[in-house]
Amino acid sequence: MPKERVHHGKLYNESKDVVVEAGQPTSKVRIPFDMDSSGTPEGYITRTEPSLDITWNRSGWVQVSIDFERAQWKRIVEEQDRYEAELGENAPMSQAIYTDVLTRAEINNMIKVLRKARDQAYGADE
């Protein structure tokens, strides 16, 4: 079963706590992960953006998957539980997961891989 990663999730450091600026809470601070540094800065945790994979089987199927770390799964479940507790039946029924923004080169590669997967799974177009 062939599989190709068309977008690699980027590493970054995220502040453990919400940052307060001018007396108002803001989102957590994210800084690029520095491979040359001696580790994660104090008060931060290292996270990985979701990755995008294309998997196929020559017997006739193609799938796209988003791969992300277990901690993000847990945050999503906790957030959905909180929505349900606060909003009851009005809680959102689903939640989207996004990769980082794809570059033009990554999009071109994804198109190339999808065409390859389509041709191997379903045969080439005439």
Q: Could you read off the pLDDT of 35-51 as tens digits, one per residue?
A: 677 677 777 777 788 89
Say how many domains are in the chain. Answer: 1
Please give the model's pTM, rounded to 2 decimal places: 0.68
pLDDT band at 26 (very low <50, low <70, confident <90, very high): low
Name the percent of the chain lying above pLDDT 70.
Answer: 82
What residues make up the domain containing 96?
3-122
CA separation, residue 109 to residues 16, 18, 81, 113 (Å): 34, 36, 37, 6
pLDDT tops 90 at residue 95: no
Q: How far apart are CA 117 and CA 126, in angstroms?
A: 16
Residues 6+ apart with CB under 8 A from 64: 52, 53, 54, 55
